[in-house]
Amino acid sequence: MSRDAAEALRRVFGYDAFRGEQQEIIEHVAGGGDALVLMPTGGGKSLCYQIPALVREGVGVVISPLIALMQDQVDALRALGVRAGFLNSTLDFEERRLVEAEFVTGELDLLYLAPEALGAPSTRALLDRGRISLFAIDEAHCVAQWGHDFRPDYLALSMLHEKWPDVPRIALTATATTATRTEIATRLRLDDARHFVSSFDRPNIQYRIVPKNEPRRQLLTLLRTEHAGDAGIVYCLSRASVEKTAEFLTQNGITALPYHAGLDAGTRSRHQSRFLREDGLVMVATIAFGMGIDKPDVRFVAHLDLPRSVEGYYQETGRAGRDGLPSTAWLAYGLQDVVQQRKLIEGSDGDVARRRVLAAHLDAMLALCETVECRRTQILGYFGESSASCGNCDTCLAPPESWDGTVAAQKLLSTVLRLARERGQKFGAGQSIDILLGKQSDKVTQHRHDSLSTFGIGTELSESEWRGVVRQMLAQGLLAVEGEYGTLVLTEGSTAVLRKEREVRLRREAPRAASARVAKPR
């Protein structure tokens, strides 16, 4: 068995040696065992089911949610001489019949299926007519209801075990916390599966998270000083900001292309293939871009807006440095991000439980942004892996100072409290900051907020320092935002601070000039 596997690795794929745990996984599955494989993006998951499918009798059936990529995956396999086909909604009747016939007569090594296809009785009847060597369930975290990428169609995959108990199953994912891993095993009925958990560390990626002042300018500085001529991905939340950022970079002499779901399919695929083929191109995109993109020399991934979860952040930054060379993961993050994300959660459909999950995801992301500890330790800890400080992230390279922000926090909270108690009003962060700074703005004069007792009591901090205080307090749950306008409201934590029962530690923000540049990636 292991000779066949090593032979397939060399002869079909042209590689000399297995990577990481590949060999053990392949031998286990080729020998008929079930497996749950957790491996970071770029770790080499595909071979873990492709080689057993080649070695075993019958056709390997691969369940993958990435319909848009099936054609590419199958083309790539065929170019290597592997007999592969796929069934999904993009095929017409004739094409479908051809693939079905190939499956039944065993003329295929691998058949890719969309998860929804398995729900159809006709597909199940088809599978009964052929010989199946194994089931591979790709992106297995999609079965986790509390995960960040849940797809209801995945729930039906538990029937694979009931209907074909003798066919080995291998589930694979690049993102899974301990809780998600347990949920995958339960929902897919992988009771006897061996778990293969690779380290999630990507030591060549330097993680950096900076306060957001003028995001596009900050990005430009990063690209000019450290990544001139490099290929990279810039993630933005909205289509509009994707367009604006791509335009801004282009005007400043950087070859940048936009990518988002609002562009027509032709433009998207043109931009994607230019990114893959040309050197030094910057793709400015929403998170619609990147799944399954295999470009080894992406030197940086920059986020201009806060990702919704640590899983998402890890997956997106993981697209940098697949070739193992030094790369940068850079995120600019500000008060507005917290306000906006909380608003999105509040306005999202779904029940209370769902919203609570989204809020927990966001809280973990905020904790990563505000940490004074090693970023990598925090990220790996999130995935259940313990590690020492890395020496290759911003907090390791330039340890942030913390300061006692209790008095500042009390000043801010009593402003919010007074607006509510004395005036029956709620405002966004900007108004409270203006009041603390004693600014006679139009809105201050109009509402006579200059007569509040907290007016002008906060001049020891600058406006941007106050924004940092508000942001960090939101992240720590010492303050909350609500409603369409993101107005500030008090929490239980606020009460404790106001009653002097709780101290507030805050992270001192690096001065502007220094925040643009920490150190060269090693």
Contact residues: ligand ADP, CB under 6 A = 15, 18-19, 22, 39, 41-47, 294
Token pair in block for residue 36? 């749950």
* Binding partner selected for residue 141 from Zn ion, ligand ADP, none, CB under the kind-specific 5 to 8 Å limit: none
**Core vs surface per residue 425-463: b (16+ CB within 10 A) or e:** ebbbbbbbbbbbbebeeeebeebebeebebbebbeebee
Amino acid code (one letter) for 502: R
* Binding partner selected for residue 319 from Zn ion, ligand ADP, none, CB under the kind-specific 5 to 8 Å limit: none
Spatial contact of 490 and 427, defined as CB atoms under 8 Å apart: no
Amino acid code (one letter) for 117: A
Complex with ligand ADP: residue 322 or 439, whichever CB lies closer: 322
Between CA 303 and CA 219 the distance in angstroms is 9
Residue 516 C-beta: closest distance to ligand ADP, Å: 32
Residue 105 C-beta: closest distance to ligand ADP, Å: 28
Restricting to residues 410-439, which ones interact with Zn ion according to CB under 5 A?
none
* Binding partner selected for residue 43 from Zn ion, ligand ADP, none, CB under the kind-specific 5 to 8 Å limit: ligand ADP
In the chain, % helix, strand, coil (3-state, to 5) comes to 45, 15, 40
Complex with Zn ion: residue 45 or 376, whichever CB lies closer: 376
Between CA 141 and CA 404 the distance in angstroms is 41
Complex with Zn ion: residue 298 or 393, whichever CB lies closer: 393
Complex with ligand ADP: residue 13 or 150, whichever CB lies closer: 13
Complex with Zn ion: residue 12 or 398, whichever CB lies closer: 398
Complex with Zn ion: residue 397 or 490, whichever CB lies closer: 397
Spatial contact of 177 and 383, defined as CB atoms under 8 Å apart: yes
Binding residues for Zn ion, total number by CB under 5 A? 5
Spatial contact of 197 and 216, defined as CB atoms under 8 Å apart: no
Residue 48 C-beta: closest distance to ligand ADP, Å: 8
* Binding partner selected for residue 47 from ligand ADP, Zn ion, none, CB under the kind-specific 5 to 8 Å limit: ligand ADP
Complex with ligand ADP: residue 63 or 209, whichever CB lies closer: 63
* Binding partner selected for residue 374 from ligand ADP, Zn ion, none, CB under the kind-specific 5 to 8 Å limit: Zn ion
Between CA 461 and CA 247 the distance in angstroms is 35
Residue 405 C-beta: closest distance to Zn ion, Å: 24
**Core vs surface per residue 329-365: b (16+ CB within 10 A) or e:** bbbbbbbbbbbbbbbebeeeeeeeeeeebbeebbebb
* Binding partner selected for residue 42 from ligand ADP, Zn ion, none, CB under the kind-specific 5 to 8 Å limit: ligand ADP
Phi and psi of 491, rounded to 5°?
-120, 180
Complex with Zn ion: residue 193 or 209, whichever CB lies closer: 209
Between CA 72 and CA 64 the distance in angstroms is 13
Spatial contact of 361 and 148, defined as CB atoms under 8 Å apart: yes
210 binds Zn ion (CB under 5 A): no
Complex with Zn ion: residue 42 or 381, whichever CB lies closer: 381
Residue 359, sorted as left (phi over 0), alpha (psi -120 to 50) or beta, turns out to be alpha
Binding string, 328-367, against Zn ion, x = CB under 5 A? Answer: ----------------------------------------
Token pair in block for residue 279? 């050197």
Spatial contact of 500 and 437, defined as CB atoms under 8 Å apart: no
Complex with Zn ion: residue 70 or 205, whichever CB lies closer: 205
Residue 298 C-beta: closest distance to ligand ADP, Å: 13
* Binding partner selected for residue 222 from Zn ion, ligand ADP, none, CB under the kind-specific 5 to 8 Å limit: none
| Beta-carbon contacts of residue 10 (< 8 Å; ≥ 6 apart) | 16
Residue 46 C-beta: closest distance to ligand ADP, Å: 3
DSSP string spanning 252-285? TT--EEEE-TTS-HHHHHHHHHHHHHSSS-EEEE
Residue 79 C-beta: closest distance to ligand ADP, Å: 12
* Binding partner selected for residue 390 from ligand ADP, Zn ion, none, CB under the kind-specific 5 to 8 Å limit: Zn ion
Residue 376 C-beta: closest distance to Zn ion, Å: 5
* Binding partner selected for residue 393 from Zn ion, ligand ADP, none, CB under the kind-specific 5 to 8 Å limit: Zn ion
Restricting to residues 372-401, which ones interact with Zn ion according to CB under 5 A?
374, 376, 390, 393, 396
Beta bridge partners, 34, equal: none
Residue 318 C-beta: closest distance to ligand ADP, Å: 8
Burial class (CB in 10 A: 0-12, 13-18, 19+), 128: exposed
Q: Residue 502 has what DSSP assignment?
A: S
3-state secondary structure of 380: helix
* Binding partner selected for residue 128 from Zn ion, ligand ADP, none, CB under the kind-specific 5 to 8 Å limit: none
* Binding partner selected for residue 294 from ligand ADP, Zn ion, none, CB under the kind-specific 5 to 8 Å limit: ligand ADP
Residue 59 C-beta: closest distance to ligand ADP, Å: 20
Number of Cβ within 10 Å of residue 93's Cβ equals: 7
Residue 522 C-beta: closest distance to ligand ADP, Å: 23
Q: Residue 439 has what DSSP assignment?
A: -
Sites of contact with Zn ion (CB under 5 A): 374, 376, 390, 393, 396
